Amino acid sequence: MMPEKLKTELQSRVAHAVTSREAAVDVMKELQRHYGWFTDEAVGEAAELLGLTELQVEELATFYEMIYRRPVGKRVIHVCDSISCWAVGGETMLAHVGRRLGVEPGETTGDGIFTLLPCCCLGNCGEGPTMMVGDTLYGRLTADSIDEILARERGGIT
């Protein structure tokens, strides 16, 4: 169950939005932050906050690839697999991250720290290959920079 403080804050955000749907991504992301992923309970709570049906929330949640309807690790790694990144080695970088973590795309490491997911364009096309770890964007990836990023990200997890 979401804490009362979070509920009040989200009610306020919905009240200030032009339409409740405008606040939907914010609401889903905050509930996801609270639960670790966008649980069934969160779907129900979002529906109530937004004045939508659970099915409508489900449709929105499954549209956005950064809303997770299954458990994920503490940090989700999105590696861009759209055309600009693909053209400069994105596929090779995705494979490198997978090898380093010992997971396939879609899987979570055994220690529950990282989940690896390919994704559509992250809006950093000129700096590809690109990946996002949690909320941090990394561009111009190389095998060496990925190793450094993973070590730093792992070290920063509490």
Task: Pick the piece of the chain touching ligand FES (CB under 6 A) from 23-31, 51-59, 68-76, 115-123.
Answer: 115-123
**141 near 83, Cβ under 8 Å?**
no
Interface with ligand FES (CB under 6 A), residue from 6, 66, 125, 149: 125
Interface with ligand FES (CB under 6 A), residue from 39, 56, 84, 145: 84
Count of residues interacting with ligand FES (CB under 6 A): 12
Beta bridge partners of 115: 76, 108
- In the complex with ligand FES, which residue's Cβ is closer, 126 or 155? 126
Q: Which residues bind ligand FES (CB under 6 A)?
A: 80, 82-85, 121-125, 128, 130
